[in-house]
Amino acid sequence: MGSKYPRSVRGCLPLWTLMLEAVFILIFFFFTNYDSSSQKIMGTHQAVFRDVTIMAALGLGFLNSSLWRYGWSSVAFNLFMLALGVQWAVLLDGWLDQLSFGKVVIELSSIQQATMSAMSVLISAGAVMGKTNLVQMVLMVLMEVTAFGTLRMINKQYLNEDDHESMMQIHVFAAYFGLAASWCLSRPLPKGVKKKEKRTTIPSLFAMLGTLFLWIFWPSFNSALLDIPYQKKNAVCNTYYALAASTVTAISASALAHPQGKINMTHIHNAVLAGGVAVGASCHLISSLWIAMVLGLVAGLISIGGAKCLPVCFNRVLGIHDTCGVHYTFGLPGLLGGITYLAIFFAAWSKNAMLGFLVLIGTGTVTLSVAMGLVSGLLTGLLLNLKIWRAPHVAKYFDDQAFWEFPHLAVGF
């Protein structure tokens, strides 16, 4: 306890974040405006905004809370990153939309999109969780929101995608960003630290709570940026059935993958959501429920397969440590979603002369997301490795006591 770590946070964190908050306030003072002429009644809009906030604060907050001694940090740091990310994203999105540093008009819809953009950080955080301090998190928020905003801007400006399609790159982008950042931060874990990665009963129930929130509100997330009524309806129905199929598949496949037929709770937390990720990009275009269900089934299998194989093959070989499995939760199903999107495009436009061009663009989008995620993640990871942030010592990984004042020093609960 004590050691030299805690003092460093005290020296760094409040200084940095309060300054940053002051800078934000100044920028908002000079560069933002309300549009007070709008008389739109906003019942539905507010509901969608609320749903997205629930997913970000409750869903992603608790999803990663299953580590034995890292529950407080995962939930509270998640809220901290969300609060910071939303402030930065709304500015950045405004500037990138108009491609200049002019006044940004704040609408409820822009705050909603900012919340969704900030979710990219919350997803990536699952890969580096427990290995960084709050100052590093602040830096990661700024870097990732900027990178994701740029990716969305490129998609919209140069690849002619709409808000929905460019947002749905979030899973792939965030997963590979997190993996790349985690690769830079990975160190061999001492034995005592490995023990802290264990999951136990009650924290797993909290994680299940997060999973359920995500599961329930995923249809809202996938349909949040769609405007045409029947597309919105299709998005909701397809997402729901894809989730249902991936839930059934994930639980069965998890039992199949264990030599004694036992289900792995950590896999379930993540794999039941695979259907929602996979169906994301194309949920409004899929014209039959069975396609969504096939996608959900395949996504569930891939996710469980990834959960079994990736830690052994991929992570160990490359030396990546992916704390909460974002690779198989968001990365692989997201890639599947990208391929599906391409296939649907292919089927729908197969009579089109410009097909080659369109497929090229489609492939480009997915590749771009992965590449952008990897490059910006690497860059961020290298920055986070600098000594000035005073990262927690590896012996203090996955431990709430490095950050939190405990009323007593009892172990765990």
173 binds its own copies (CB under 8 A): no
236 binds its own copies (CB under 8 A): yes
Q: Which of residues 298-337 bind its own copies (CB under 8 A)?
A: none
Which range in 31-39, 149-157, 316-324, 369-377 contacts its own copies by CB under 8 A? 31-39
Least distance between its own copies and beta carbon 45 (Å)? 8
Least distance between its own copies and beta carbon 380 (Å)? 20
**Which burial class, exposed, middle or buried, applies to 332 when counting CB atoms under 10 A from its CB (0-12, 13-18, 19+)?**
buried
Least distance between its own copies and beta carbon 163 (Å)? 18
105 binds its own copies (CB under 8 A): no
Q: Which of 139, 265, 358, 378 binds its own copies (CB under 8 A)?
A: 265
139-148 b/e (C-beta count within 10 Å ≥ 16 → b): bbbbbbbbbb
Least distance between its own copies and beta carbon 132 (Å)? 15
Q: Which of 98, 290, 318, 319 binds its own copies (CB under 8 A)?
A: 290
Length of the chain: 413
Q: Which of 157, 288, 352, 385 binds its own copies (CB under 8 A)?
A: 288
Separation CA 92–CA 95 (nearest Å): 5
User: Which amino acid, 271?
Assistant: A
Closest CA to 123 of 210, 52, 64, 206: 64
Closest CA to 114 of 54, 60, 53, 157: 53
57 binds its own copies (CB under 8 A): yes
Output 187 or 258, the one with its CB closest to its own copies.
Answer: 258
Write out the two tokens for 235: 């998005």
146 binds its own copies (CB under 8 A): no
Which range in 36-44, 149-157, 178-186, 350-358 contacts its own copies by CB under 8 A? 36-44
Closest CA to 267 of 227, 306, 217, 219: 306
Output 100 or 201, the one with its CB closest to its own copies.
Answer: 201
Q: Which of 148, 176, 177, 213 binds its own copies (CB under 8 A)?
A: 213
Euclidean distance between the first and final Cα of the chain, in Å?
18
Which range in 156-164, 240-248, 313-321, 370-378 contacts its own copies by CB under 8 A? 240-248
The helix or strand, by DSSP H or E, that contains position 363, with its residue range, turns out to be helix 355-384
Separation CA 324–CA 77 (nearest Å): 15
Collapsing DSSP to helix, strand or coil, 370 comes out as: helix
Beta bridge partners of 106: 34
Which range in 254-262, 332-340, 359-367, 379-387 contacts its own copies by CB under 8 A? 254-262
Closest CA to 146 of 389, 376, 326: 376
80 binds its own copies (CB under 8 A): yes
Closest CA to 64 of 165, 169, 137: 137
Least distance between its own copies and beta carbon 369 (Å)? 27
252 binds its own copies (CB under 8 A): yes
| Strands of 52-108, DSSP E | 104-106
CB atoms within 10 A of CB 409: 7
Q: Which of 38, 98, 352, 367 binds its own copies (CB under 8 A)?
A: 38
Q: Which of residues 186-205 bind its own copies (CB under 8 A)?
A: 198-202, 204-205
Q: Residues 366-395: x/- map of binding to its own copies (CB under 8 A)?
A: ------------------------------
Least distance between its own copies and beta carbon 383 (Å)? 20
Closest CA to 287 of 330, 347, 246, 338: 347
